[in-house]
Amino acid sequence: MHPVKHFTLIALAAFVGFTVTASAAESNAISAAQTVVNDAVQTLRNFESDSKQAWFRENVSKARGLFIVPRLGKGGFIIAGSGGRGLVVVRDDAGNWSQPAFYTVGSASIGLQIGAQESEVIYLVMSDAGMDALMGTKFQLGADGTLMTGPVGMGAQAATTDMLGFSRGVGLFGGISAEGTVIHPDFKRNEAYYGQAVSASEILLRHSVQNADAGQLIATVSATAAPR
């Protein structure tokens, strides 16, 4: 075979292999994002049916946004520097809910406590400060962080805070303190889900992108957060 043709075939094979690999990686990223969406739907349904979450159900209609973390604990904050994944949806002035923006949750200081188990967590975003924090490149929860939180757990009470946290599981965050928790927009997952690079504010406020596969999530959020 002529050397030039041989080189061309090798280059073509390498290109095809790279394209297939890239396509598979993109497909996996989209699937992983949809899994978070589907899990968030189930988390909302679990909170709706849990008799211990009456305060959440009575006050979710007042929230300007929801930050849902379907799994936190095992596979989440097991060791320092690890984290979980969740999503945020926000309500506009007309009462319509946005498409989801994906976020990562992590901490360099939080460790697993004795008896900790996996928990589902939902934050109600209640203030302008809470909404502004969601649009930044990162924010931190806790008394000494950049964003104040309310009582976390099944027995949360009304408070003047930026976010109110609720968990379903064993103890506070399934045995894990929220202080020092750092939350970042997940730019790669947002890009995969919407097919283009997009910021949290473009998703949540400008409604610049849409994904039809988020329809069930939006419907479930709308029903859960409807005035009662």
pLDDT at 38: 97
Q: Which two tokens stand for residue 140?
A: 């931190």
pLDDT of residue 77: 42
Q: Output the CA–CA distances (angstroms, integers) from residue 65 to 1, 75, 89, 136, 172, in the order listed.
A: 64, 25, 6, 15, 22
Q: Which two tokens stand for residue 9?
A: 């075939």
Query: Residue 52: its pLDDT value, please?
Result: 83
- Which burial class, exposed, middle or buried, applies to 51 when counting CB atoms under 10 A from its CB (0-12, 13-18, 19+)? exposed
pLDDT of res. 2? 53
To the nearest 10°, the Cα dihedral for 219, 222, 225, 228?
-110
> Domain spans of the chain?
34-224
pTM, full prediction? 0.78
pLDDT of res. 67: 92
Q: Please, what are the averages of pLDDT over each run of 10 residues along the chain (228 residues)? A: 55 51 70 95 94 86 93 51 77 96 73 56 88 86 56 47 76 49 89 96 96 98 92
Radius of gyration of the chain (CA): 20
pLDDT of residue 25: 64
Structure confidence at residue 178 (pLDDT): 60
Instruction: Report the pLDDT value the prediction gives residue 193, as an integer from 0 to 100.
Output: 97
Contact 209, 202 (CB under 8 A): yes
3-state secondary structure of 217: helix
